[in-house]
Structure 1
Amino acid sequence: MPESNKSKNHRHSTLYIVGAIVLAVVLAIVGPALFGESLRPVVGLLEVGGEVFLRMLQMVVVPLVMASVMSGILGLGDVRKLGRPGAYAVSYYLSTTILAVVTGLIVVNIVNPGRGIDPALVEDARKEGEQTLAHAAGRNERQRFEWHNVTGDRSATAGESKNVSIPAKGVWGVRISIDQVGQAETPARALVQWSEDGNEFDELPDGEFVAGTETGIYTTNPAIPVSEKVRFVRIDFQPQEGGTHSIVEAYLVPGAPSIGAIFRNLVLMLFTNNLLGSMVEINLLPLIIFSIAFGAMLTTLGSRAETITSLVLSINDALMNFILLLMKLAPLGIFCLVAARFARAQLDGQFLTLLKTQAWYMTSVIVGLSIHAVFTLSFLLWFFTRRSPWTFFVQMSQAILTAFSTSSSTATLPVTMECAEKNAGVSSRSTEFVLPLGATINMDGTALYEAAAAIFIAQAYALTDPSFVLTFDKQVVIAITATLAAIGAAGIPEAGLVTMLIVLNAVGLPLELIGLILPIDWLLDRFRTAVNTYGDSVGAAIVDKSFTS
């Protein structure tokens, strides 16, 4: 009887959450059409309600992760028993990430979403992307090169520009644009020069940019990279000969970090110099490492650790009960989150417009994510555990729907652990170790999304620059880079944006074209987070067998 009531309550909770999401989307579309701008105060109130629910989930994440990982180690009794499950978990996450990237590339090549996009939209997206890049680099706007020109006539600009200092933090490049007016006999040239002290300048390797002789705008693609040792740069501009005139504009723009830099940060993030700081910033990797080490140490103390062991286990049980209480508020909190975000997009004129202009791109990503979840992950679940994928999906549905609503696998972690253990019957030893690790490093949906987005951007860019050809070897580079970037995403802030820049940079695509996918990213982020969460739970079920073997 208790199991029957438990199953009935789970079905009711899932239906309530589904109903909340459907109602929120309907009201978000219909409300602005009926009430217009007068609906904005209501949207503001809904945002507050959604933010309260999100913060309540995030409030539990850090203590739950630390208590659950310690409980898992204490339950094993010997930390060496974690070796095989740990190896299985990492192998599973790496394998599914590779499979997700391959799926994304196949789907986006079949659908070819960039084939019919308006070139004007590409140029508009470039401008928005430049602002986003500057913001991500900690600057409100790009730093522009200026010439010693008292008249302000850009067509009269020539010679050496003023010095521009390179910020100490970040990776930077120089983007040059030359507007050739009239047929030139010889093309205009711009040479980037560098200096360590601002006095003596040398030519930057590969720093020469030559425009064409035909009328048109010529832009560096990609930006000319600036090495870490450079402290100052300037540009020596030589105008064309013949024709009317040429106009030069140049900016210092942020670039993408290398894969090596990401993995360096990832290794360093495993070990924190401030445990409380990691708790405040919800950096789970160092907390997991500390919890494993601390739990292992407790197992060596015998009876002397009985008091603190009992305390850790009690804290873990209390937090799981607190999550059950939070789930009673989930339908209301999820309604507020979804209704506020969708309604604001509709009020700003984005939602239905974006569905029309980027329908094929959205279709590519969502179909790819669906194939990965329904076929790849479900097959792996059935093959290794002989579980019914549909039954397991229903058992994890509350966590998947919460992930869609919050667009944060970390914030969803408490719900994922509760569903996996209470509904799906995954042992606490697996959920307490595999799920916190998966919420940090498992990025199936993100890797698939980045590979598909990079191909879409390349297809759209080819419309504006016919010289760019998306060859097979470039697609292989995208696949490898997307996989590595997704795995290393936990090692950098603003991971989604920065890893996307790495993928674009790897095949020479303009970084500012990230503006093509930014307007719809908030919506697709919900789908890929749901897939990430489902992948975490499948991993916990598969690795669970290694704890019992």
Structure 2
Amino acid sequence: MTSTPSAGGMPLHTKMLIGFVIGTVAGLAANFYVADAGWLDSLITYVTDPVGQVFLRLLFMLVIPLVFSALVLGVVEIGDPASLGRIGLKTLLWILAVTTMAVLIGLLAVNLFQPGRGIDPEVAQSLLAASSDRATEIAGAREGVSGIQILLNIVPRNPVDAAARGDLIAVMFFALMFGIAATALRTPGTRSFVAAVQGVYDICLKLIGWVIALAPYAVAALLFSITARLGMDVLVQLARFVGTVIAALGFHFFIVIPILLWVFGRMSPLTFFRGAQPALLTAFSTSSSSATLPTTLKVTEENLGVPRRVARFVCTLGATANMNGTALFEGITVLFLAQFFGVELGMGQQVLILLLCILGGVGAAGVPGGSLPVIAMILAMFGIPPEGIGLILGVDRLLDMCRTVVNIGGDMAGSVVIGRSEPADVAGVDMDAALADVDVAKG
């Protein structure tokens, strides 16, 4: 996520922080002084809840075209034989492997620390009862579904019906198959179709930009509704959520990625972090993989000694498809809100969430709030009130900075590993010699 100044010059994340503070303080005051007042319930029912619902409906409106177009384009870019087919396959394997590890870490962390537990069960049930009827219907529909049925439901009988029902994993499967077929055909009609899909994707990004401009008001409204009902307890849960996300991101970034670098890239983690520092600092300050891309390319080639041919392909593709930090965040967010609202998820459902987050990490848009539609749809699929997104938006700036660092670090680590696996005559550069030159240059 990147924050651009509005017409008045105030960055979006600042507005969101102001909305978070206003909504939280007003809600806490209402909970403390007038919790039993009839007009407060009317205010929540007829003012703040509808404002939040409009924002959520706008996100739901965009999720199907966004995910479909993003995944089709991602597969076409990865599988293009003219675009380094062998390196493309290695990049795809890297993205899937590292993203799977990241989501597993997130799921383990949220099950270990239980950041969403602690709310009074009666309060949680009342919040769940007040949520959208659609989420409740979906939750009931998923009861008693066997593992075999879940696997079969991945393949939709009717993709249009699956999209209408919000069956996100079926839509993702259809999009992946569509992308694979588009990659294999290479006809003028196929190229025109891919160009049209690119247009759909660009339009979705523009619409998301407009929707996210409403986020500060939605944050204030959603936070007021939740804090007016829960009081101070909600802030305790929020602090535990932030701590769980940062701990999981830190484990993935400082433990998992260095091990992969050491084993498969034959590079010292200290050498990597020292060389990657400019790009990581840029990622932390901008919170945008796309905005960091020029620095990422420069650092990967010059400081890490990755062949230009490999670096440009892996880092450019990774800026839109290799969102392992984002996927980790999505998994923790979904399970945290499930715990918060008292929605019990079995192991099979958590595995399904893992798959959705892996694909969602590839299909997340590289724009402000690009992962929100995916999170909102996953929440609705499992009967978790999507209104809980208001909690997350209030603290998203810090978490966005942290997960963008993980995303960029994963791109650069992937470039090193894939560059090392390429023959010297194909890569065009001896990586050992290049790294030696870098060390000499740095003194």
- TM-score, scaled to structure 1: 0.47
Contact in 2 for aligned 1:485/1:502 (Cα 8 Å): no
> What is the Cα deviation at residue 412 of structure 1?
1.1
- The 1:278/1:488 distance shift into structure 2, 3 A limit, reads closer
Give me the whole-angstrom Cα distance separating, in 2, the residues matched to 1:356 and 1:448.
Answer: 22
Residue of structure 1 in register with 2:171 after alignment: 261
Residue of structure 2 in register with 1:96 after alignment: 98
Give me the whole-angstrom Cα distance separating, in 2, the residues matched to 1:373 and 1:102.
Answer: 14
Pick one of 318, 334, 338 that aligns with 1:454.
334
Residue of structure 2 in register with 1:106 after alignment: 108
> What is the Cα deviation at residue 118 of structure 1?
6.5
Give 1 or 2 for the bigger CA radius of gyration. Answer: 1
Matched, 1:519 2:399: no
* Structure 1 residue runs without a partner (length 5+): 1-40, 51-78, 131-172, 178-204, 207-226, 230-253, 284-340, 463-467
Residue 417 of structure 2 aligns with an amino acid whose one-letter code is: I
Matches within 5 A, 1:314-463: 358-462=238-342
> What is the Cα deviation at residue 117 of structure 1?
4.1
Contact in 2 for aligned 1:119/1:460 (Cα 8 Å): no
> What is the Cα deviation at residue 509 of structure 1?
2.2
What do residues 327-380 of structure 1 show as CA deviations (whole Å, max 9, x unaligned)? Answer: xxxxxxxxxxxxxx9xx99xx999x99975511101111111111111111110
> What is the Cα deviation at residue 122 of structure 1?
6.3
Contact in 1 for aligned 2:365/2:371 (Cα 8 Å): no
Give me the whole-angstrom Cα distance separating, in 2, the residues matched to 1:117 and 1:93.
Answer: 37
Residue 98 of structure 1 aligns with an amino acid whose one-letter code is: T
Pick one of 461, 472, 476 that aligns with 2:347.
472
Residue 410 of structure 1 aligns with an amino acid whose one-letter code is: S
Give me the whole-angstrom Cα distance separating, in 2, the residues matched to 1:395 and 1:354.
Answer: 41
* Structure 2 residue runs without a partner (length 5+): 15-80, 142-158, 184-192, 206-215, 425-443
Give me the whole-angstrom Cα distance separating, in 2, the residues matched to 1:391 and 1:81.
Answer: 29
Higher relative contact order (CA 8 A, sep 6+): 2
Please identify which structure carries the higher helix content. 2
Contact in 2 for aligned 1:481/1:502 (Cα 8 Å): no
Residue of structure 1 in register with 2:117 after alignment: 115
> What is the Cα deviation at residue 390 of structure 1?
2.0
Residue 375 of structure 1 aligns with an amino acid whose one-letter code is: I
Matches within 5 A, 1:219-238: none
- The 1:125/1:365 distance shift into structure 2, 3 A limit, reads farther
> What is the Cα deviation at residue 486 of structure 1?
2.1
What do residues 128-167 of structure 1 show as CA deviations (whole Å, max 9, x unaligned)? Answer: 997xxxxxxxxxxxxxxxxxxxxxxxxxxxxxxxxxxxxx
Give me the whole-angstrom Cα distance separating, in 2, the residues matched to 1:539 and 1:356.
Answer: 37
* SS of residue matched to 1:426: coil
Matches within 5 A, 1:57-206: 82-117=84-119, 174=134
- The 1:410/1:458 distance shift into structure 2, 3 A limit, reads same
> What is the Cα deviation at residue 398 of structure 1?
1.7
> How many pairs were matched up?
304
Contact in 1 for aligned 2:287/2:404 (Cα 8 Å): yes
> What is the Cα deviation at residue 435 of structure 1?
0.5
Give me the whole-angstrom Cα distance separating, in 2, the residues matched to 1:255 and 1:517.
Answer: 25
* SS of residue matched to 1:396: helix
Residue of structure 1 in register with 2:410 after alignment: 535
Percent identical among aligned pairs is 37
Pick one of 503, 508, 511 that aligns with 2:383.
508
- TM-score, scaled to structure 2: 0.57
Give me the whole-angstrom Cα distance separating, in 2, the residues matched to 1:407 and 1:125.
Answer: 32
Residue 295 of structure 2 aligns with an amino acid whose one-letter code is: V
